[in-house]
């Protein structure tokens, strides 16, 4: 009986180590964050941000969203990129009209057609002399007679 308990411990420790290794490996692939705010009736609005790590003046993919479980009067996704260092941020291949080359570069998309979300994605490039690129997303909606904003930062 004692051997079985020790075997279970070994399997549990092995499984935990494998899960941690997967988590570390997937964490190196991209950075993500989310934030939630609530309307007076309890409905949530969530801001989501995902970005590939970018270094040495490189480029990476990004995706951001503002989402709800119900259809608000309108919902807006405002995504801003910031960097530490010099040079201009550039945004390419955005799936909505608009681009930015300022520091910080900001994109915004508002849906007022009964949609439950507002989404942005594309490629962002840091300036030639920058050493860190991050992003903020603000999800704002008007629903149930209230305005709420949720935010996330990576």
In 57-92, which positions are buried (b, 16+ CB within 10 angstroms) versus exposed (e)? bebbebbbbbbbeeebebbbbbbbbbbeeeeebbbe
Structure tokens at 84: 């530490």
Alpha-carbon 71 to chain mean position: 21
Cα separation of 128 and 53, whole Å?
15
Which is more confidently placed, 88 or 152? Answer: 152
Per-residue DSSP letter, 93: S
DSSP string of 24-89? HHHHHH-EEEEEEEE-TTS-EEEEEEEE----TT-EEEEEEEEEESS--SEEEEEEEEEEEEES--
For the segment 71-119, what is each residue's pLDDT rounded down to a tens digit?
A: 999 999 999 999 888 888 888 866 543 333 344 588 999 999 889 999 9
Residue 35 has pLDDT above 70, yes or no: yes
For the segment 111-145, what is each residue's pLDDT rounded down to a tens digit?
A: 998 899 999 999 999 888 888 889 999 999 999 99
- Considering the domain 30-153 in this protein, what is its CATH number? 2.60.120
Domain ranges of the chain: 30-153
Does the global pTM surpass 0.85? no
Average model confidence (pLDDT) across the chain: 79
Residue 11 has pLDDT above 60, yes or no: no
The confidence score (pLDDT) of residue 73 equals 96
Going by C-beta distance under 8 Å and a sequence separation of 6 or more, which residues neighbour residue 30?
A: 50, 51, 52, 53
Q: Residue 108: phi, psi to the nearest 5?
A: -150, 140
């Amino acid at each position: 009986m004692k051997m079985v308990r020790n075997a279970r411990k070994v399997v549990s420790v092995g499984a935990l180590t494998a899960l941690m290794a997967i988590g570390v490996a997937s964490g190196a692939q991209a950075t993500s964050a989310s934030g939630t705010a609530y309307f007076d009736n309890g409905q949530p609005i969530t801001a989501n941000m995902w970005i590939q790590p970018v270094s040495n003046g490189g480029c990476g993919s990004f995706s951001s969203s503002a989402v709800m479980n119900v259809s608000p009067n309108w919902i807006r996704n405002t995504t801003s990129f910031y960097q530490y260092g010099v040079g201009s941020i550039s945004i390419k291949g955005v799936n909505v009209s608009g681009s930015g080359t300022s520091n910080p570069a900001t994109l915004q998309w508002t849906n007022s057609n009964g949609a439950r979300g507002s989404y942005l994605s594309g490629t962002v490039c840091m300036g030639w002399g920058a050493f860190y690129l991050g992003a903020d997303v603000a999800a704002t909606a008007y629903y149930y007679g209230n305005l709420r904003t949720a935010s996330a930062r990576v």
